[in-house]
Amino acid sequence: MLFVCLGNICRSPTAEGVFRSAAVRAGLGKRVLIDSAGLGVQHIGWPPDPRAIQAAKRRGYDLAKIRGRRVTATDFSRFGWIIAMDDANLQALIELKPPDVGGYLGLLLDFAPDLGTREIPDPYFGGPEGFERVLDLVEASVPGLLERLQDTLGDQ
């Protein structure tokens, strides 16, 4: 499971942390490779934004050890699921994806259709409330994603 946003310091590490916690609680922590990456190069090696770390910590998630990295061509074969945070990142991933590689490529909010939005907004240029909003949206999406993943793992 690879979560992707532009810089890999706000949305995708938040999704990684929340999903990792849910996967561990569901007993899948050892069965699923979970990571996050960005499409940009400006934050490679950086920890998540301090506001993302603090907001996540208040809800019981630890993002402090995550470091920004860029999506690579090998990610498409390493991860059966690649989940984008917004349409622009999804489109970029579609363009990067090698034609001979399968797997799931889609938006995180597709797993929470009742929310009425498809994109997780980038909180980087706003205040702390944006990071809380990201967490709200990610937490609402993860149960549906986890259920779908469990359905596919049940076949293995």
Residue 101 is predicted with a pLDDT of 92
Asked about 5 being catalytic, the answer comes back as: yes
Instruction: Note the pLDDT tens digit of each residue in 19-63.
Output: 999 999 999 989 999 999 999 989 999 999 999 999 999 999 999
Q: Is pLDDT above 90 for 109?
A: yes
Q: What is the distance between the alpha carbons of residues 148 and 94, in angstroms, rounded to a whole number?
A: 21
pLDDT at 154: 74
Options 5, 10, 69, 75, the catalytic residue: 5
Choice among 35, 49, 86, 122 that is catalytic: 122
Q: How confident is the model at residue 155 (pLDDT cuts 50, 70, 90)?
A: low
Q: Which is the catalytic residue, given 11, 20, 51, 69?
A: 11
Which residue has 């922590």 as its token pair? 29
pLDDT tens per residue, range 114-152: 999 999 999 999 999 999 999 999 999 999 999 999 998
The average confidence (pLDDT) of the chain is 95
Name the maximum alpha-carbon separation found in the chain. 44
Domains and CATH numbers, the chain: 2-147 (3.40.50.2300)
**122 catalytic, yes or no?**
yes
From residue 152, alpha-carbon distances to 54, 146, 147, 148 in Å are 33, 10, 9, 7
